[in-house]
Amino acid sequence: GPLLQVTDLVREYTLPREHLFRPPGTVQALNGVSFSIAAGRSLGVVGESGSGKSTLARLVMALDAPTAGTVELLGRNLHQLPAEQLRQARRDFQMVFQDPYGSLDPRQTVERIVTEPLQAQGQTTRAEQREQAAQVLSQVGLRTNDLGKYPHEFSGGQRQRIAIARALITRPRLIVADEPVSALDVSVQAQVLNLMQDLQQQFGITYMLISHDLAVVNHLCDEVVVLYQGRIVERGSPGELFRNA
Ligand code: ADP
Ligand code: ADP
Taking the CB of residue 199, how many other CB atoms lie within 10 A of it?
A: 19
* Nearest-10 crossing angle of helices 156-168, 126-139: 130
- Using the predicted structure, report yes or no on whether residue 21 has a pLDDT greater than 70: no
| Distance, CA of 33 to CA of 9 (rounded, Å) | 5
Report, as an integer, the average pLDDT of 48-53: 95
Q: Does the model's ipTM exceed the 0.95 cut? A: no
Residue pair 42/207 in contact (Cβ under 8 Å)? The answer is: yes
Report, as an integer, the average pLDDT of 229-239: 95
Q: Which residues, including other chains, have CB under 8 Å from residue 135's CB and lie 6 or more apart?
A: none
What pLDDT score does 123 carry? 83
| Ligand 1 near 157 CB (within 6 A) | no
Residue 184 backbone dihedrals phi, psi, to 5 degrees: -105, 155
CA of 115 to the centre of ligand 2 (A): 16
Q: Each residue of 66-81: pLDDT tens digit?
A: 999 999 999 999 999 9
Instruction: Band the pLDDT of 101: cuts 50, 70, 90.
Output: low
| Ligand 1 near 49 CB (within 6 A) | yes
> What is the DSSP secondary structure assignment for residue 92, as one 8-state letter?
G
What is the secondary structure of 5-69 as a DSSP string?
EEEEEEEEEEEPTT-SSS-SEEEEEEEEEEEEE-TT-EEEEE--TTSSHHHHHHHHTTSS--SEE
Query: Which residue has better confidence, 244 or 148?
Result: 148
Report, as an integer, the average pLDDT of 86-107: 87
| Distance, CA of 166 to CA of 180 (rounded, Å) | 13
CA of 102 to the centre of ligand 2 (A): 29
Mutate to test the pocket of ligand 1, among 13, 17, 95, 98 (most ligand atoms within 8 A of CB): 13
What pLDDT score does 244 carry? 66
| Ligand 1 near 151 CB (within 6 A) | no
Global pTM? 0.92
In three-state secondary structure terms, 161 is helix
| Ligand 1 near 55 CB (within 6 A) | yes
Query: Which residue has better confidence, 14 or 22?
Result: 14
What pLDDT score does 16 carry? 74
